[in-house]
Amino acid sequence: MSKFKHILITSLSSLSALALCSCVGSRGVLVPSSTLAPTILPTLEATFEPTPLITAPVIDRSTDLLGNAVQGANHFEQFISFSNIQVYEQCNDTFVDMKIENSYPAPLKIALKITFFDENDLEAANAMFQSQNGQYAMILPSGASSVYAQVNTDMTITDLDFRIDFDSSFAVMPENW
């Protein structure tokens, strides 16, 4: 009996494989009596609600956070001081490192330039200071920060006089102004 089952199973599997492998042509046919009528969807009416306007908080720019009257574009420069200025050469490059102190109770936007002068008071070299992340336009938090400049020059400037200026194209002001 097991031989019979084996033959039966083999025959059935062969027939089913043959049925699956045979080519059957199929083509779509439209039958008008079975075709669905088109349905018309109801039109949706849009309802518009006004979007509430988000108004920015009004900042009183007539006084600073300390209550002092803001007088002029350079008002916030008074809160900036410099210390530990070092000019040095290393690997044929000239660098300037400096500590900068922001005594204002909020971060200030700032850009600084250093200019070196020769013995005839002519400009010998200049550079822009950068923050630790390489930004020239810096957001200076309250307190002390380190900044640096790389001076591109082929002469020794470590013994020359220099001046540090606020970049005139970038006003010193609080970050949120």
What are 73's two structure tokens? 């574009």
pLDDT along the chain (177 residues), means of 10: 66 62 61 70 76 75 90 92 96 94 96 96 96 93 96 94 93 88
CA-closest candidate to residue 112, choices 89, 90, 135: 135
- Per-residue model confidence (pLDDT) at position 128: 97
Prediction pTM value: 0.64
Q: pLDDT tens, 148-158?
A: 999 999 999 99
Residues 139 and 128: their CA atoms lie apart, in Å, by 15
For residues 142, 99, 92, 161, the Cα torsion angle rounded to the nearest 10 degrees is 120
Pick the CATH number of 81-174 from 2.40.128, 2.40.50, 2.60.40, 3.40.190: 2.60.40
- Per-residue model confidence (pLDDT) at position 17: 60
DSSP 8-state symbol, 65: T
DSSP 8-state symbol, 130: B
